[in-house]
Amino acid sequence: MANVPLGLTIAGSETTGGAGLQADLKTFEEFGVHGMVVITCIVTMNTQTWEHEVSMVAMDAINKQFDTVFSGEKISAVKTGMIPSVDLIQLSRDRIIDSGIENIVIDPVMVCKGDISEINIESSSALRDILVPIATVATPNLLEAGVLSGLGVLESIDDIKKAAKIIYESGAKNVVVKGGGSLAGDEAIDIVYDGKDYEVLSSPKVSTQYNSGAGCSFSAAIASCLAKGMPVRTAVAKAKLYVRDAIEHGFSFNEHAGSVLHSASRVIEGNSLA
Ligand code: PXL
């Protein structure tokens, strides 16, 4: 019998397969983690404007999914993605706590494409007050870290460090701010904070517009490594290498968007992570 860690994502479906639960499952698979899903919503795109539209999954169906995934062997790590209502955020917290899962990665997804005007204040406050406090690792991107910390636009490594500290103080045991390519300069910067030390992870920016799913995949890779028993720092370092390969080999889907290649590390770089 195979001894495979179980991973769970509580997330939305991103229909084109680059981001959302699809990114999480593909990433789990690359790391040899068996992926399971509680699907919260379905994201589709207006084919002319590529505006995203969110269709909610009924609460009853969500509860039944939780019952199903929690009826088996112990789950080694859970990751959250798009959870687009306060009720669902509360339910997810309650169900995660009841399950006793030890490794909890909270990716506080607020909007799909970094448009701050679309942020729902109620949901983002609920993410901060209800889900981030139970995180083993919280993984906001630059925009989400600005909102969660109340600091607004983050423009420097110092700004990110201040935001990470505030988010840590709201209860997350570790904070990884995924600056990625969003900060000015030639380097993709991510910052890890564990309440004591800051670690600045830096790698040359990859010039591409085909990076849909980079954030979800980074967080899912961290969850995978935690599921396999790695310490947080090691998990984040491995996840960054994985996602850099995925971004480097991103590809176009249509004139609006393109995705990271989740299998790049294994298929193109010949570096299996499972
Ligand atoms: O990349 C953030 C994200 C997360 N989850 C879902 C999404 C998106 C962006 O499109 O659709 C379901």
SS3 percent helix, strand, coil of the chain, rounded to 5, is: 40, 25, 40
Per the confidence metrics, is the pTM higher than 0.95?
Answer: yes
DSSP state of 212: B
49-84 pLDDT tens trace: 999 999 999 999 999 999 999 999 999 999 999 999
Q: What is the pLDDT of residue 114?
A: 54
14-55 pLDDT tens trace: 999 999 999 999 999 999 999 999 999 999 999 999 999 999
* H-helix or E-strand spanning residue 98: helix 86-99
Q: How far is the CA of 18 from the centre of ligand 1 (A)?
A: 8
- Which residue is it, tokens 């990110």? 160
Nearest CA to ligand 1 atom 5: 20
Tell me the best of 13, 24, 46, 82 to mutate to test the pocket of ligand 1, counting ligand atoms within 8 Å of each CB and taking the most: 82
Ligand 1 atom nearest the C-alpha of 82 is: 5
pLDDT band at 240 (very low <50, low <70, confident <90, very high): very high
Whether residue 81 has its Cβ less than 6 Å from ligand 1? yes
